[in-house]
């Protein structure tokens, strides 16, 4: 996932020191960082530095805007559009640090700062987007015929103009005032949704104090639960939480059906428990406010407004893709459910398969069909080996090398830092990595930037990228052993990281991952393909204890079972994407009960009762807090691209074909948003992608 934070709209913390409210004599944001590679000086930043830096950043940014507006020279690309792209350095710098650190390691004080600054940033953003004199200058440049601009300059001009229009610049004065109020409310509601979800995730613990209630659980899962209990002051007990590395293994292996149900319901009831962290009213307000904003902007619904700026262009195209995949996926899921129900009957069970049974019985069916279970694989997926193998893939594809840096400023002691170099030894960028769950970290996995690549005064300013995950921790005296799903997730986020690291754009607003929502997942998802290739597995999948390379027998079982359970995986994903679209294609404001709305949406689609959407509404942070509203489909849209793109390598018979890798790097990874996404893809592939490779990869053809 590529997280989008509030500050990014302007351009289209743990620290190892005290968190005291007392400010230091010198605010680190107000001077050159003076750190290796100019990374943020996390060891010098305290919470008290943020608000003054935000205030000064907004003040400086507005002064820069005034200078553009009051320039006595006629509007030109250089003195207006280019100057605008270069403005706001201080504000961008503090925003990137604050919001990234807040997601990775928040505290009450940071949450309060976020609540204070969110409406200020919204007002600041609107003060620029709705600045009539500034827009007139941009429009004057945009309307000038015969400008001698290069392709990237032309792209910046068109995207800047479009950004103003989509920001409300063409609205009437009264409409602009209404838009300002809506934007401020949206910023606060989205922030609150995420804070509520983190609190709900942290507030639940299933405590087990009887050994017999651990029946079926592998020793690694039991050890992790024991250590979780110990850290919670519950020595001698076992604790399971709502973080994925805890609840998914429990549902997969626990023989205690009542406890599986208890944990699963706690997971999917997050944000719907009638307490101070309830997200239902927030959803109601968000959906209605988004519709109001879309109508102000001249669109029938929020999806139409969002998609007008994406590859999909309109809701009809999204629904068309979703239902092309939905029907074969649902049919396969029904067959999978029948297999599991038959197993329940054979075992003497007198109950119908429920959603909290799926992980348990699908794992049993997989074991029966393929003689393979997740715990056979984990010992071969030690975190450091997986990471190093991933780095080797990047070296073989793009010539990159990764050197661990010691003594660097860290936003959390568990994070680690690497310098990334190109094949010729030149500096590419800096990569932070942060792997494991903690109560102060948001759930999921994502890539962000602490600095985006761009050119300034002829100098290529290289990026600082961060990958943040929530993977299985070391437990029972063993290192961190990943599930294969976690391996794929790491490769996925690394793909986003490469997109940011390899950027070669002139302008910050067009660099790296600043692309349309349904294109940004192409670089991340194509990287997942390499993770399971036998040639690559032999590079990194080594037993954590013996060092033995993963046996060919296990690789064969992985290959044979690779398309197993794809009905479920496809159906739960597409269900969530349909739910997202159904919320945001509403054309009339109304009071929304998310649970009732979700039920109607899923009944209309034909979802079977044994499966729920991957994200139910009240914890669907992608669309209500993470910048993916009307965009969750984008993973599937990008899968059409990534499946077709990986075939370009497979067709040559060489997973690391240098010509194909070079074409992908130069036409996709380095280009950012400097051209239309489909143009970039066609430059790489030479043809339009089809849906068949996607269906084939999922075993649905």
Which of 396, 389, 463 shows the shortest CA–CA distance to 432? Answer: 463
Residue 493 designated active-site: yes
Which of 659, 387, 337, 365 shows the shortest CA–CA distance to 541? Answer: 387
Q: Tokens for 300? A: 């029938």
Q: Cα(164)–Cα(370) distance, rounded to whole angstroms?
A: 56
Q: Cα(615)–Cα(622) distance, rounded to whole angstroms?
A: 9
For residue 675, what is the DSSP state?
Answer: S
Q: Cα(384)–Cα(380) distance, rounded to whole angstroms?
A: 11
Q: Phi, psi at residue 408, to the nearest 5°? A: -85, 150
Q: Cα(317)–Cα(59) distance, rounded to whole angstroms?
A: 42
Q: Cα(49)–Cα(12) distance, rounded to whole angstroms?
A: 26
Catalytic: which of 200, 493, 528, 572?
493
For residue 587, what is the DSSP state?
Answer: -
Q: Cα(184)–Cα(123) distance, rounded to whole angstroms?
A: 7
Q: Cα(343)–Cα(75) distance, rounded to whole angstroms?
A: 73
In whole angstroms, how large is the CA radius of gyration of the chain?
A: 25
* 169, 135 Cβ separation under 8 angstroms: yes
Measure Cα distances from 695 to 190, 239, 565, 632 in Å: 34, 39, 14, 18
* 296, 178 Cβ separation under 8 angstroms: yes
Query: Which conformational region is residue 102 in: left (phi greater than 0), alpha (psi within -120 to 50 degrees), or beta?
Result: alpha
Measure Cα distances from 655 to 425, 541, 557, 649, 667 in Å: 24, 17, 21, 5, 18
CA atoms within 13 A on the CB side of 534: 10
Q: SS3 for 427?
A: strand
Which DSSP helix (H) or strand (E) runs through 94? helix 89-104
Q: Cα(611)–Cα(122) distance, rounded to whole angstroms?
A: 38
Which DSSP helix (H) or strand (E) runs through 244? helix 244-253
CA atoms within 13 A on the CB side of 599: 4
- Terminal CA-to-CA distance of the chain, rounded, Å? 27
Strands 427-434 and 464-468: parallel
Q: Which residues are catalytic?
A: 493
């Amino acid at each position: 996932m590529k997280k989008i934070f509030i500050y990014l709209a302007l351009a289209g913390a743990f620290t190892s020191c005290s968190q005291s409210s007392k400010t230091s004599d010198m605010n680190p944001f107000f001077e050159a960082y003076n750190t290796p590679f100019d990374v943020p000086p996390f060891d010098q930043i305290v919470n008290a530095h943020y608000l003054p830096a935000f205030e000064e950043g907004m003040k400086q940014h507005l002064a820069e805007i005034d200078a553009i507006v009051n320039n006595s020279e006629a509007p030109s690309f250089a003195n207006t559009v280019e100057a605008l792209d270069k403005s706001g350095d201080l504000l961008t710098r503090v925003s990137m640090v604050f919001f990234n650190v807040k997601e990775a390691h928040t505290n009450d004080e940071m949450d309060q700062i976020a609540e204070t600054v969110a409406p200020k940033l919204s007002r600041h953003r609107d003060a620029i987007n709705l600045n009539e004199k500034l827009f007139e200058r941009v429009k004057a440049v945009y309307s000038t015929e015969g400008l001698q601009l290069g392709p990237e300059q032309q792209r910046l001009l068109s995207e800047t103009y479009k950004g103003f229009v989509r920001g409300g610049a063409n609205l009437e004065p009264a409409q602009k005032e209404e838009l300002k109020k809506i934007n401020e409310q949206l910023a606060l509601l989205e922030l609150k949704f995420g804070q509520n979800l983190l609190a709900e995730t942290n507030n639940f613990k299933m405590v087990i104090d009887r050994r017999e209630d651990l029946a079926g659980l592998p020793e690694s899962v039991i050890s992790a639960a024991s250590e979780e209990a110990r850290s919670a002051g519950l020595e001698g007990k076992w604790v399971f939480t709502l973080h994925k590395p805890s609840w998914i293994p429990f549902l997969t292996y626990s023989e205690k059906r009542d406890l599986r149900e208890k944990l699963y319901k706690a997971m999917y009831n997050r944000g719907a428990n009638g307490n101070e962290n309830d997200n239902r009213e927030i959803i109601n307000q968000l959906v209605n406010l988004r519709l109001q904003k879309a109508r102000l902007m001249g669109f029938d619904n929020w999806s139409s407004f969002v998609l007008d700026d994406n590859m999909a262009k309109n809701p009809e195209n999204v629904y068309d893709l979703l239902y092309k995949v939905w029907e074969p996926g649902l049919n396969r899921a029904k067959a999978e459910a029948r297999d599991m129900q038959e197993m329940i009957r054979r075992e003497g069970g007198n109950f119908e398969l429920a959603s909290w049974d799926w992980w348990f019985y699908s794992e049993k069916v997989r074991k029966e069909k393929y003689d393979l279970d997740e715990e056979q694989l984990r010992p071969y997926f030690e975190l450091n080996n997986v990471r190093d193998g991933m780095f080797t893939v990047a070296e073989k594809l793009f010539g990159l090398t990764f050197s661990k840096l010691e003594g660097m400023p860290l936003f959390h002691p568990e994070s680690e830092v690497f310098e990334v170099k190109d094949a010729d030894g030149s500096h590419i960028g800096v990569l932070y990595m942060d792997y494991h769950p903690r109560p102060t970290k948001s759930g999921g996995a994502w890539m962000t930037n602490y600095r985006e690549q761009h050119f300034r005064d002829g100098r290529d300013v290289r990026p600082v990228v961060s990958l943040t995950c929530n993977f299985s921790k070391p437990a029972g005296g063993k290192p961190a052993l990943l599930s294969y799903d976690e391996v794929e997730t790491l490769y996925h986020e690394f793909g986003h990281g490469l997109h940011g690291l390899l950027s070669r754009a002139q302008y910050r607003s067009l660099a790296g991952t600043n692309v349309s929502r349904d294109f940004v997942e192409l670089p991340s998802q194509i990287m997942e393909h390499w993770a399971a290739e036998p040639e690559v597995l032999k590079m990194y999948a080594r037993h954590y204890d013996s060092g033995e390379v993963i046996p060919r027998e296990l690789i064969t079982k992985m290959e044979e079972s690779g398309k197993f359970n794809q009905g479920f995986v496809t159906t739960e994903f597409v269900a969530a994407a349909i739910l997202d679209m159904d919320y945001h294609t509403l054309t009339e404001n109304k009071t929304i009960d998310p649970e009732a709305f979700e039920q109607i949406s899923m009944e209309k689609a034909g979802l079977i009762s044994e499966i729920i959407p991957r994200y139910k509404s009240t914890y669907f942070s992608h669309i209500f807090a993470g910048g993916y509203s009307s965009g969750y489909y984008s993973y599937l849209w990008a899968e059409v691209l990534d499946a077709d793109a990986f075939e370009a390598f497979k067709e040559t018979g060489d997973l690391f074909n240098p010509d194909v890798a070079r074409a992908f790097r130069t036409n996709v990874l380095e280009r950012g948003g400097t051209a239309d996404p489909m143009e970039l893809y066609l430059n790489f592939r030479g043809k339009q992608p089809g849906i068949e490779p996607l269906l084939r990869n999922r075993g649905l053809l």
